[in-house]
Structure 1
Amino acid sequence: MLKPKIWLMAIAVLIFAAGCQDSESASNGDSGGGDSETLTLWHIETGKSEVALEDAVKRFEESHEGVNVEVVRQENDPYKTKLSVAMGGGTPPDVFHSWGGGWLEKFVNAGQVKDISENIDTSQYLPAALSPAEFDGKNYGAPLAMDIVPVWYNKEMFEEYGLEEPETYDELLEIVETLKSNDIVPFSLANQSKWPGSFYYMYFAERFGGPELFNEAYNREGRGFDDEAYIKAGEKIQELAEMEAFPDGFNGMNFDTGQSRQLLYAEQAGMIVQGNWMLGTTRNDMPEFEEKLGFFLFPTIEGGQGSNKDIVGGVSPVFSVSEKSEKQELAAELVNELTNKETAQQLANTDGAISAVKGVEYDDEYVQQISTVLEEAEYMQTFYDQTLPPELAEVHLDTTQALFGLSMTPEEAAKEVEAKAKEVLE
């Protein structure tokens, strides 16, 4: 029989050991005994889109007892850099936002993203929405929403001047001339951040070179970024610039502060090439202008290989799981909640987003029209600055802005992008 002092010491040792075990279990994320597991989620959504994600997280936590999700909304502009630093430092979030394409692929190639092919039901998503996150037949991200870039225009203005939605580029040029002759800026453009001008370059290149042009250049199989179609795209941009189809000082105008939209609202400009987010932005900026807002797809160019059934667009958000996550399966379940039909339905009806998820019903007739365009599209060219590796995307944006500013020839711009592509992609 133990003496009292020895007996008390034995109990103390047992209590201390049990405490250490509990502490170790908690640090390892063991949810037993009331301890909780924590997942981290990084995203860049704002407004009603952010609310939809927060509601999805609440559902996830309610259905996963003992699991907490730390949601961190990152600022859009520094997000790419911040995630790259976290990935490189081995401290990424469990689940993160991306756009697919080359930006996600660089993390995939570095072994930093989990293959979730077996974790998600790919049949619930639109194929065009899945493809930006598919590499070598495997899936590394689940999509929630999609964007398209049409040409928005003032319907009342078109009616006043007897203009109709163009089917061909020559018809679009006639509209440009008519608006100019009435002291109206044909295309409103704020190109300080460079990506708004990229829409024109992508459309012109596709209309000349066809749907496979970019894929050939990107995959280094066939035509390159110095192909004649890219040179012609640059020539068309400069023709518009020389025609004064854009507002004065457009390369220094700030898109984020609404400088291009304000010209449209004030009826000083007739058209703008922008994503479908233009609808939601207009409803926030100037709701009464919505009844004047119409859209058409960028027209075909005679002799070109592309058509107005081919659209420029993107997928965002796409949610992926970090390979470094210690709770990969749980993180993949969160991805499923973030991108299920319930989340997509809420996003569509509160934020006017086009769903990447099948079966969503749209209460908003306007959004339904845009969704129909996407469903009927024959090809979607994803945004260059999101699809290309960052260093190549930067050269594309810089040279495109220079084309608009008439400070670089189309041949020089194409040559510079191709040289960088050889360095980065081969």
Structure 2
Amino acid sequence: MRKKLLSSALAFTLVFSMMVGCGQPTPDNAEPKQTVQESASVQAESNSGKSGAENIELSGKITFWTTGDKSNPNDHTYPWMEENVRLFEEKYPECEVEATFITSGEDYLTKITTEVAAGNAPDVFRTYLTGRLQPFVDGGKVLPIEHMLETYPETKAIMNDKALALSTFDGKAYAIPLIASGEMFFYNKKIFDECGAKVPKTYDELLKLVDLFNEKGITPCMLGISDPWPGTIPYMMIFNRLNGNELYEKVVLNKEADFANEAFVSAGEYLQELVNRKMFNESIVAISQEEAGNKFKAGEAAMIIDGSWSVPGYAETFGDDVGIFNFPDIEGGKGSSNDWLMNFDEGFAISSGTKNQPVAEAFLAFIFSPERQAAYAETGALIACNNVTYDTSKISALTTEVMAAFEGASYSIIPWDNPLGTDVGQELNNTTQAIIMGGSAEKEFAKLQEYAKEAWNE
């Protein structure tokens, strides 16, 4: 019998209190707390875990794979993760973590999927959730995390059940999500002010905004789809505004292939209308999303469609001169601009093929310890864990704005390529890329329909 996700993971309507009701910020006037480095040093003196981990002798080498780009100053996760490796090895001198950071998310997905399928997975690795994790679970490629959580109760204490639901199959969780993420428009307030522009509340206002920026010689919105997935972000937003969530739940969450439905085609035609209206940069197909972000930060566009993982970099660049908004309402549509693309993401798992399970579990627990999660939250990341105390004075106004927007959401939409799985999800991304490049929406979704029917054995 095929394993299925818990229903709470497939049919959930999250508000941000469930997602990023995660941190327990330290009030600005609270007494200074011990730094992460000091805390790690104190723990290192005992060279042991706590509670169930006290009698475990840890030694030996493990391998660790994740995404990260050392050369990218916008990548705030890389230095935090690199520090995790260093501090772990300081705490456990007899242990070694051989870390591999892969720059491109698309490359990482391909490589980790190939290595896991071949039985060559690293001991601990970044994975994906819902439909993309399921083949690893069905194939017995990853370990349940219950033993690790029982061994390290401090880590167990900050787990978010709503997040773990996305990695739970037949009652067992197989990965720990790192972040609560969402996708939205970021906008340059200075450019808006200089042009007399306002945040659009309707689709017609968005079109007029696009025309205004083009008239002034300003690129309205940056996007980079050399890797196809970013092009699916505006498509999913448009689909929701037109159709609401019922068909999304049927096709994307329940995997009942109906992509040739006029609703999918119409949303693709709306996306093409934006492209033809010159909403996006001419280089959209030639550049990556990272390059698009750099151009936005350099002032080369008024807006960018991007994810909340970019908040720290944009806040650092713009200060208070950057804001966010959701895709506006479409007149006559069934969806709402209060429906947000939100999810838990960037899960981390332990390979069932590990030869050093004790060290692999200790390292995963260390990444998700209260101290290390606090350090990550203070970079501006929206952590998925609960009950983590951190210093709010280190959090940007942009982070606060994103958290408030998500908290007020009426419905959360899981980015489709995750529940659709590696195969159909990737094909969806290829479909939106083809439409942006001028392909027929009707023909592209007809091809996706045939692909999905075959993949899902319909």
The residue correspondences of 1:369-380 to structure 2 (distance < 5 A) are: 369-380=401-412
Runs of 4+ in 1 over 6 A off after TM superposition: none
Provide the rounded CA distance (Å) in 2 between the counterparts of 1:54 and 1:329.
Answer: 21
* Structure showing the higher helix proportion among its residues: 1
Deviation at 1:418, TM superposition (A): 1.6
The residue correspondences of 1:66-215 to structure 2 (distance < 5 A) are: 66-76=94-104, 77-117=106-146, 119-120=148-149, 124-215=158-249
Matched-pair contact (CA < 8 Å) for 2:61–2:96: yes
RMSD: 3.0
Q: Partner amino acid for 2:382?
A: I
Provide the rounded CA distance (Å) in 2 between the counterparts of 1:280 and 1:318.
Answer: 20
SS at match of 1:389: helix
Deviation at 1:329, TM superposition (A): 5.3
Query: Which residue number in structure 1 is paired with residue 42 of structure 2?
Result: none
Matched-pair contact (CA < 8 Å) for 2:315–2:396: no
Deviation at 1:187, TM superposition (A): 1.8
Query: Which residue number in structure 1 is paired with residue 45 of structure 2?
Result: none
Gaps (5+ residues) in structure 2? 1-54, 71-75, 150-154
Rate the CA distance shift 1:130–1:374 in 2: closer, same or farther, 3 A: farther
Rate the CA distance shift 1:343–1:415 in 2: closer, same or farther, 3 A: same
Query: Which residue number in structure 2 is paired with residue 240 of structure 1?
Result: 274
Of 256, 259, 262, which aligns to 1:225? Answer: 259
Provide the rounded CA distance (Å) in 2 between the counterparts of 1:251 and 1:166.
Answer: 26
Rate the CA distance shift 1:346–1:213 in 2: closer, same or farther, 3 A: farther
Q: Which moved more, 1:364-373 or 1:92-101?
A: 364-373
Q: Partner amino acid for 1:91?
A: N
SS at match of 2:65: strand
- Deviation sequence 1:202-224 (CA, Å, 0-9, x none): 11122223334333213546672
Provide the rounded CA distance (Å) in 2 between the counterparts of 1:50 and 1:263.
Answer: 21
Matched-pair contact (CA < 8 Å) for 1:213–1:223: no
SS at match of 1:307: coil
Rate the CA distance shift 1:273–1:117 in 2: closer, same or farther, 3 A: same
Q: Which moved more, 1:213-222 or 1:183-192?
A: 213-222
Rate the CA distance shift 1:157–1:229 in 2: closer, same or farther, 3 A: same
SS at match of 1:149: strand
- Deviation sequence 1:290-348 (CA, Å, 0-9, x none): 44322112223233333223222454431111122244455334322212332222112
Rate the CA distance shift 1:300–1:117 in 2: closer, same or farther, 3 A: farther
- Deviation sequence 1:22-57 (CA, Å, 0-9, x none): xxxxxxxxxx9x993333222223454233234434
Rate the CA distance shift 1:265–1:58 in 2: closer, same or farther, 3 A: closer
Matched-pair contact (CA < 8 Å) for 1:354–1:370: no
The residue correspondences of 1:24-423 to structure 2 (distance < 5 A) are: 36-47=59-70, 48-61=76-89, 66-76=94-104, 77-117=106-146, 119-120=148-149, 124-220=158-254, 224-256=258-290, 258-259=291-292, 261-262=294-295, 265-267=298-300, 269-282=301-314, 287=317, 289-328=318-357, 330-350=359-379, 352-360=380-388, 361=390, 362=392, 363-366=394-397, 367-408=399-440, 410-423=441-454
Provide the rounded CA distance (Å) in 1 between the counterparts of 2:156 and 2:208.
Answer: 45
SS at match of 1:274: strand
Provide the rounded CA distance (Å) in 2 between the counterparts of 1:327 and 1:196.
Answer: 37
Matched-pair contact (CA < 8 Å) for 1:220–1:425: no
Matched-pair contact (CA < 8 Å) for 2:435–2:444: yes
Identity %: 29
Provide the rounded CA distance (Å) in 2 between the counterparts of 1:223 and 1:385.
Answer: 14
Q: Partner amino acid for 1:252?
A: A
SS at match of 1:355: coil
SS at match of 1:112: coil
Rate the CA distance shift 1:88–1:223 in 2: closer, same or farther, 3 A: closer
Provide the rounded CA distance (Å) in 2 between the counterparts of 1:35 and 1:185.
Answer: 55
Between structure 1 and structure 2, the one with the greater Rg is 1
Q: Partner amino acid for 2:422?
A: P
Number of residues of Structure 1 aligned to a counterpart in Structure 2:
387
Q: Partner amino acid for 2:386?
A: K
